[in-house]
Structure 1
Amino acid sequence: MAQILYNSLRQRKALVLWCLIILAEYMVASNCLLVGSRQTFAFARDGALPFSRYLYRINHYTKTPVNTVWFDTICVLAIGLLSFVSTEAIDAVFTIAVTASYVAYITPITTRFAFKNNFKPGPFHLGKLSFPVTAIAVVWMVFMIIVFFFPASPQTTTQQMNYTVVVLGGVIFLSISWYNCPVYRGVHWFTGLISNFTPAIRGENKDEDSMSEKKGQHNEDLFVSAVDV
């Protein structure tokens, strides 16, 4: 891309445009790191990751999950080193961003209809169209996953092979192995997501409730008086 910009715009204009591209890429990477670190923190909260007890911590100064930010940064830097190994390796990483997302979408969608659960629709739902829309979405995502598994050309070699299926299969294998680990297997202790919120129980502090109600009524009376005036 840099060569194309240089050939089309020459040095000065190409450098200006290239700086804008670098700035945009930096903002995208920062946003991805922000989202990824929070997702890692959520997984660590539920004990779904190795070393969860160290990742599930909030920095007392910044009030943010600094440990997960550094953890994700190190993982990203390690994966980025694949670009120095081979183009095929880093291409597999880029492609898995799509295929892994589709797998993450397909899993909850299919389990919603394939297994019994206590799913309760929200205020907005498609009603009878839910299943047809789900079927179309799942079929489309499965089709696209298969497409992304194919190499760039029909006649391929070992160096030109698309290794996305290997990377995705490796991640799924490690996840299943971690879940069924003989000592730390989550299949025995994982009972569901851990909530960060404690629902308030009304009636515990009746005096405070009555005072709040009186204060609210007093404010309403003042508002009505002000309107009347």
Structure 2
Amino acid sequence: MSEEVKDAGRYVPIAIAWGYFGNGVLALIIIVGFLFALPSVPDALNDSTGFPFIYVLRQFLSTSGVNGLTAIILVPVIFSNILFNASTARQTYAFARDRGLPFADSISRVDPHRRIPVRAIALSCMISGLLSLINIGSQVAFNAIISLNVAALMYTYAVSISCVIYRKIACPETLPPRRWSLGTFGLTINILGLLYVLFALFWSFWPPSPSPSARGFNWSVVIFVGVFIVSLLMYAFQGRRHYVGPVVTVQRSD
């Protein structure tokens, strides 16, 4: 989506920083208030609704109040899911445009009338829907798939931050000019960020308790290794011959 932002090198990092700190402060306020209002942790965890915050609301509000506040919470969740799908579709389109996916020509096609990647959007929606259906047949299988989320994110963060650190130390002259910079603190923050994501990546593969059952086991390590192997095979047989990204400069065509 940064390709559609004017002067993205300056304003995208600013938006990320403000979004992070703004949401962090608001989340801290909500968590502190929630903890002060929580009468019993075991009762909240074992509530029949499956959502501890609904248990807390029920202790102090009427049914109408609980329904109203729950709706206020659910509406942003619904809209955020739309944003997540839009982001995923744009990433799918960009990766296909750079010929990093099978059937890249078809997936990266932009509708000439709507001026959006309709096929990439449809593919993202279809995959999300199919993954959601797994929960109907087996919650264990569904949790195993979604548990990959944290590990995959931490791995991609580690790779990207490592590349930046390497460039800053080994060959800083190869880095493009920066429109937004952390100055002398940049490298230190990069190193601290890398240590954090490596720590999170390591613990994301562990089960929540010793001697877990098949239902309580953390299957993300198995799925992560499987996806990693498939990705290596795709790169070996297709990507290294066809992948031409990432695109550095994009010019709009009217």
TM-score (structure 1 length as normaliser): 0.73
2-structure distance, mates of 1:40, 1:143: 28
1:166 to 222, 236, 249: 222
Distance 2:242 2:101 in 1: 13
Task: Quote the residue 1:20 is aligned against.
Answer: 72
Match of 1:179 among 235, 241, 247: 235
Partner residue of 2:95 out of 35, 40, 43:
43
- For the 8 Å contact 2:147–2:219, the answer to whether it is kept is no
How big is the alpha-carbon RMSD for the aligned residues of Structure 1 and Structure 2?
A: 2.6
Alignment size in residue pairs: 195
Q: Deviation at 1:155?
A: 2.0
Work out which structure has the larger RCO, using CA pairs closer than 8 Å and 6 or more positions apart in sequence. Answer: 2
Distance 2:89 2:70 in 1: 28
Note the alpha carbon deviations across 1:25-80, whole angstroms, 9 max, x for none. 21011010111111111111101111111111112232211111110001101111
Question: Where does residue 189 of structure 1 map in the other structure?
Answer: 242
CA displacement at 1:186 relative to structure 2: 1.7
Partner of 1:69: 121
| 1:99 aligned partner | 151
**Partner of residue 88, structure 1:** 140
1-structure distance, mates of 2:166, 2:126: 38
2:122 maps to 1:79: no
SS class of match (2:223): helix
Give the distance between the partners of 1:197 and 1:71, measured in 2 at CA. Answer: 25
CA contact (8 A) 1:88 1:162 kept: no
Tell me if the contact between 1:102 and 1:141 (Cα under 8 Å) persists in the aligned partners.
Answer: yes
- The equivalent residue for 2:27 is none
> Which residue, out of 170, 194, 203, partners 1:147?
203
Residue ranges of structure 2 left out of the alignment (5+ in a row): 1-46
Q: Which runs of 5+ in 1 are unaligned?
A: 199-229
Given that residues 57 and 65 in structure 1 are in contact (C-alpha distance below 8 angstroms), is that contact kept between their aligned partners in structure 2?
yes
Match in the other structure for 1:53: 105
SS in 2 for 1:122: coil
Residues 47 and 189 from structure 1, CA distance in 2 versus in 1: closer, same or farther, beyond 3 angstroms?
closer
Task: Give identity over the alignment, percent.
Answer: 22
8 Å contact kept, 1:88–1:163:
no
Report which stretch shifted further, 2-11 or 149-158: 2-11
